[in-house]
Amino acid sequence: MTVHHLNQLLLACSLVLLVAVAAVRISSRSGLPSLLVYLGIGILMGQDGIGHIHFDNAELTQVMGYAALVVILAEGGLGTKWNEIRPVLPAASALALAGVAVSVGVTAAGAHYLVGLEWRQSLIIGAVVSSTDAAAVFSVLRRIPLPARVTGTLEAESGFNDAPVVILVVAFSTAGPVEHWYVLVGEILLELAIGAIIGCAVGWFGSWGLKHVALPASGLYPIAVMAIAVAAYAGGALAHGSGFLAVYLASMTLGNAKLPHWPATRGFAEGLGWIAQIGMFVLLGLLVTPHELGDDVVPALVIGLVLTMVARPLGVVLSLTPFRVPWPEQALMSWAGLRGAVPIILATIPMVNGVTGSRRIFNIVFVLVVVYTLLQGPTLPWLARTLRLGEQGEASDLGIESAPLERLRGHLLSVSVPEGSRMHGVEVNELRLPAGAAVTLVVREGKSFVPLPTTVLRRDDELLVVATDPVRDAAERRLRAVAHGGKLAGWLGTNGAGAGGSR
């Protein structure tokens, strides 16, 4: 590649990104999932589109897709709240394992008996489409005010189920007979265990290091966090474990560790996640050949119908009924098994391994994902309202950024008071911060001032709170308690544990 070629590539990539960013705004207004817009950009650039770019490198697509999925899982894990998924962890794990097994079996049977595919192809398709897409789930569910149990279960499932599905797809795509089912189950459990141990260990040590080492620039924290997450994936994969589970658990550990400069880190990770999604979908759009899809539309619709109406609901019922999950929540989670780029990426594995009929498998999966994403994503809010599962009027979470003052043995907390926060109308002295913490500055409508004890806080205020090391966590817990419960949070039972020193 010459410098001239580099200039052309940079221009093309920047234009694609700008169009994709604009598409997010359009899709948010129209309800059209943005992933379909990105796929459309790739198709337009492809050999059947106006770009006439001939691209058929399935192996490169698989490698780049894996890399993008690592970033997407890391971003999703950083935004997953442990207090939301901890109560539903057993249910989410059952859904990611038993639910996937049921979905694979039922979908494969439908593909074999209704479409006429041979068993190996049917099992591959069943495994490929049984994985819910983390990017789709994270982007859609976080815009819908659902109960924490539903959101936590679906987010944890989407983070967990990639690992067993990848193992199944690789096993079914390997030349020769598939090993006995109990051997395959043992391999899946072993790889998941290795990935879980490595992910938790890397996340814990990484968060401990970032808390105890004050980096010279705030911009280094986001880089360090993403590097730790990627290291967890690489370590898990090299140890013959599940790298995808490792990166998700490591990121979740980091995301719940109250690291310094956290809003900046989340913003950086979210930006990388968007770039990964855009690049992944555009590349998948380039790989598909639209004029070859005609014969595979009906088989894709039939298999998708079996998956959506039979396999997914059956897997949800069998997995969640023992945990006494209410039927309305099970109905929503049955419909919320969103597919996206992950199944399309996994469909490149049999292509790389030279499985007979692998191109048809890819085409069927592509059509299935596009059609059922159009159907499921926009209808989720309506279904949630119909089932009366929406939660309206919940107070927004408080934005707090922490910067360590290492030489002063303290922390500077930057606090944003969002719309709907019950901190609005509270006087500074009514915050009842623990001794060793104080509000030192308020920024309101672009002007800053030192507050008095009687200063009344308002929405959209920015507060600077200085706290010593021993009371830093208690001060943050108290601020969050007031944001959700108002000045009476301590008496209403919404004050955080350990904040009792504020009285």
pLDDT at 178 over 80: no
pTM of model > 0.85: no
Cα–Cα distance between 71 and 252 in angstroms, integer?
Answer: 13
Nearest to 434 by CA among 485, 465, 478: 478
How far is the C-alpha of 259 from the C-alpha of 245, rounded, in Å?
22
Section 137-155 average pLDDT:
72
User: Would the pLDDT of 42 be above 70?
Assistant: yes
- What number is the average pLDDT over the span 13-30? 76
Segment 278-285 shows an average pLDDT of 87
CA angle at 252 for the pair 251 and 255, rounded to the nearest 5°:
85
Q: Where are the alpha helices (DSSP H) in 321-460?
A: 327-335, 341-346, 348-352, 358-386
**Amino acid at residue number 63:** V
> How far lies 464's CA from each of 118, 401, 437, in Å?
65, 10, 10
Alpha carbons 466 and 441: distance in angstroms, whole number: 9
- Record the tokens describing residue 356, joined without a space: 């007979």
Average pLDDT over residues 146-155: 80
DSSP classification of residue 502: G
* Per-residue tokens: 72: 């997407």
Query: How many Å separate Cα 127 from the centre of its chain?
Result: 20
Contact partners, residue 243, CB within 8 Å, separation at least 6 = 70, 195, 232, 233, 234, 235, 236, 237
Instruction: Tell me the C-alpha distance between 180 and 185, whole Å.
Output: 9
pLDDT at 238: 94
192 or 136, which is more confident?
192
Other Cβ atoms closer than 10 A to 63: 14
Give the chain's mean pLDDT: 83
Angle, CA of 414, 416 and 421, to the nearest 5°: 140
404 three-state secondary structure: strand
The token duo for 290 is: 């639209």
pLDDT band at 122 (very low <50, low <70, confident <90, very high): very high
Q: What pLDDT score does 393 carry?
A: 41
At residue 491, does pLDDT exceed 80?
A: no
Token representation of residue 340: 């996206």
Q: Are 221 and 259 in contact (CB under 8 A)?
A: yes
pLDDT-derived band at 223, boundaries 50, 70, 90:
very high
Average pLDDT for 387-410: 59
Query: Tens digit of pLDDT for each residue in 290-317?
Result: 888 888 999 999 999 999 999 999 999 9
pLDDT of residue 187: 82
Site of tokens 């990104």? 17
pLDDT of the residue at 147: 75
pLDDT value of position 28: 61
- Range with the poorest average pLDDT among 54-68, 69-83, 127-141: 127-141
Assigned token pair, 266: 């989340």
User: What's the token pair of residue 94?
Assistant: 């059952």
3-class secondary structure, 412: strand
Tokens, residue 176: 């020769």
Mean pLDDT of 352-373: 89
Flag the least confident range among 418-427, 436-445, 446-455: 418-427
Q: How confident is the model at residue 227 (pLDDT cuts 50, 70, 90)?
A: very high
pLDDT at 495: 45
For the cut 80, the answer to whether the pLDDT of residue 164 exceeds it is yes
- For the chain, give the percent of residues with pLDDT over 90: 27
